[in-house]
């Protein structure tokens, strides 16, 4: 059954208007080790509470596919590494979540199909705290477990909309900011200066019309010691950025360059997808997402 291609099925049923044949929107990303899977459907409906998801994957799957209606929430992860491993161990063919997952590196090793909208480190599972010696070994999932009840504003999680473009998925450091709109003059000034292990956070107004960072600036950021660059906007020269030994996150790739108007601000409070980030905050990024803390957790 897994050898049946979805394209062939669509070709065979493209004129079917009975409702018996349906195609899900192309918004689900692949997180498991198996891209092809099929089986009878078992369902769970929940919202930011994975209690029933755990109950399901802890039971015999018998080759079924668990379909989870999570209300398309991007605020909490309904499945992580432990539940992914349980689903594989108990014979589920796959899990499809209309919501988020976490522990991306662990899920990639699970020999089943796992599809979801995005990765988000925050979870509803019980908190546990792992203190790591090395700063870049502090997992965002662990940070979220430790701070999930923090309402002070000192702990923040960026929405799961940032794609990885650099050679390093895991990076961390104190924040330096740039605020600009379709003009990367100050981005260039920043990455041409010593980074000293900092993370450059660029509020680009979420514009998808111009790229604020390209191959040359990515190489400059790596050469000058920036731990990473996070852009609420676009990048370009994707193949070149993938070789840059620094973390680079952005919303999307856009080949159009910016205008050079010498406009913008540096070292001011910025909003990244509605989340406030201050110069001097600490940013931690890995495969599961990006979190911001007012103070570092090491040293």
For residue 119, what is the enclosing H or E element?
strand 113-119
Residues 50, 83 contacting (CB under 8 angstroms): yes
pLDDT for the residue 265: 96
List, for the chain, all residue ranges whose pLDDT scores fall below the cut of 70. Answer: 1-2, 122-137, 298-299
Residues 121, 141 contacting (CB under 8 angstroms): yes
pLDDT for the residue 134: 36
Residues 244, 216 contacting (CB under 8 angstroms): no
Task: Report the length, in residues, of the chain.
Answer: 299
Q: Which domains occur in the chain, in start order?
A: 6-119 (3.50.30.40), 135-293 (3.50.30.40)
For residue 52, what is the enclosing H or E element?
helix 51-57
pLDDT for the residue 132: 34
- Cα(255)–Cα(134) distance, integer angstroms: 36
Is 0.75 topped by the overall pTM? no
- Cα(58)–Cα(80) distance, integer angstroms: 13
- Residue range 67-87, pLDDT digits in tens: 999 999 988 999 999 999 999
- Cα(107)–Cα(113) distance, integer angstroms: 9
Q: How many CB atoms lie within 10 A of CB 211?
A: 26
For the chain, the distance separating the N- and C-terminal CA atoms, rounded to the nearest angstrom, is: 54
- Residue range 145-178, pLDDT digits in tens: 999 889 899 999 999 999 999 999 999 999 999 9
pLDDT for the residue 123: 53
pLDDT for the residue 14: 85
């Amino acid at each position: 059954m897994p050898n049946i291609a979805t394209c062939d099925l669509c070709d065979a049923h493209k004129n079917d208007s009975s409702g018996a044949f349906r195609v899900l929107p192309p918004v689900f990303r692949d997180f498991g080790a198996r891209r092809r899977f099929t089986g009878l459907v078992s369902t769970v409906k929940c919202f930011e509470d994975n209690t029933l998801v755990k109950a399901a994957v802890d039971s015999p799957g018998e080759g079924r596919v668990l379909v989870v209606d999570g209300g398309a929430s991007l605020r909490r992860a309904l499945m992580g590494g432990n539940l992914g491993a349980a689903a594989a161990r108990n014979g589920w063919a796959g899990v499809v979540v209309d919501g988020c997952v976490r522990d991306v590196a662990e899920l990639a090793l699970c020999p089943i199909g796992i599809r979801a909208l995005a990765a988000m480190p925050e979870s509803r599972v019980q908190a546990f705290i792992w203190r790591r010696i090395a700063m870049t070994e502090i997992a965002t999932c662990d940070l979220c477990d430790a701070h999930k009840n923090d309402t002070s504003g000192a702990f923040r999680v960026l929405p799961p909309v940032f794609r990885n473009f650099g050679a390093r998925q895991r990076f961390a450091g104190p924040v330096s900011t740039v605020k600009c709109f379709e003009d990367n003059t100050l981005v260039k000034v920043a990455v041409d200066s010593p980074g000293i292990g900092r993370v450059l956070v660029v509020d680009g107004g979420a514009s998808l019309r111009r790229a604020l960072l390209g191959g040359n600036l990515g190489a400059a950021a790596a050469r000058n010691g920036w731990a990473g660059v996070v852009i609420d906007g676009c990048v370009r020269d994707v193949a070149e950025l993938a070789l840059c030994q620094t973390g680079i996150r952005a919303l999307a790739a856009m080949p159009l360059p910016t205008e050079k108007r010498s406009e913008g601000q540096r070292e001011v409070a910025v909003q990244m997808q509605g989340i406030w980030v201050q110069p001097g905050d600490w940013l931690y990024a890995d495969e599961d997402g990006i979190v911001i803390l007012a103070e570092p957790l090491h040293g």
